[in-house]
Structure formats: C-alpha cells, structure tokens
C-alpha cells in the first residue's frame, strides 16, 4: 500500500513539474510556431520568421513596456504578437493565456541579449 501511495505521489510531483514548465512556455515549440506559415489560420504563406529571420529585431522585445504598431500603442507583448498575426499574417488572434502564446513568448524571451 505504501509503495502504491509513493508511486502516486511521484506521479503527481512529476505532473506538477511538467505543468509548471508548460505554464512558462516551451522555447522549441515557440520557435516552431514562430516559423509556421499557418500559425493561427494565417492565409498569407508568411510566418513571423519570414520578416524576423532567426528572431532578428526581437532581441529586446521582451523588455519593452510599449509597442507602437500601425499607429496605435500596445502595452502587452501578447497584444503586439496578435497585431502581427492579425494584420501581417491575416490570422486569428491567440488567446493571451493560450499555450501557443506562452510558447511564442518563451521563444522571443530566449532571443534576449544580455
């Protein structure tokens, strides 16, 4: 009985750690999404990576407090990402707390230069 209980606790601990890791986003999945021309239903054939090869130009994006895009100001990186998905790629916006958004943000964060 104790061994079974220990096994359950181990499983729950591993599940919890994996859940926390996904909550922070996954860099590799984010990179794949960043380079996916069909991201969020995009119909242009372009990906984020088409204009930002290897993330170029986004090295400081995660530190920004404000983005000026297409004549408007945005104060969240999620909003900035969605504007590009909607306007440049003609896709549907991602939910701000979706796993796809978390993964994209994780990839963009990984581009940061110290």
Decide if 48 is inside a domain. Answer: yes
When divided into structural domains, the chain yields a total of 1
What do you get for the CA distance between the two ends of the chain, in Å? 51
DSSP lists the bridge partners of residue 72 as: 69
CA distance 87 to 81: 10
CA distance 109 to 30: 10
Decide if 20 is inside a domain. Answer: no
Decide if 90 is inside a domain. Answer: yes
pTM score, two decimals? 0.77
- For 1-46, the pLDDT digits (tens) are 666 666 565 554 444 444 444 468 999 999 999 999 999 999 899 9
């Amino acid at each position: 009985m104790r061994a079974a209980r220990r096994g359950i606790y181990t499983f729950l601990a591993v599940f919890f750690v994996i859940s926390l890791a996904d909550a922070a986003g996954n860099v590799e999945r984010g990179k794949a999404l960043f380079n996916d021309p069909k991201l969020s239903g995009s119909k242009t054939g372009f990906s984020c990576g088409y204009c930002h090869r290897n993330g170029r130009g986004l090295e400081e994006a995660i530190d920004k407090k404000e983005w000026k895009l297409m004549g408007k100001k945005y104060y969240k990186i999620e909003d900035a990402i969605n504007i590009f998905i909607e306007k440049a790629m003609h896709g549907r916006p991602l939910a701000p707390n979706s796993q796809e958004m978390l993964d994209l943000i994780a990839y963009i964060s990984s581009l940061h230069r110290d």
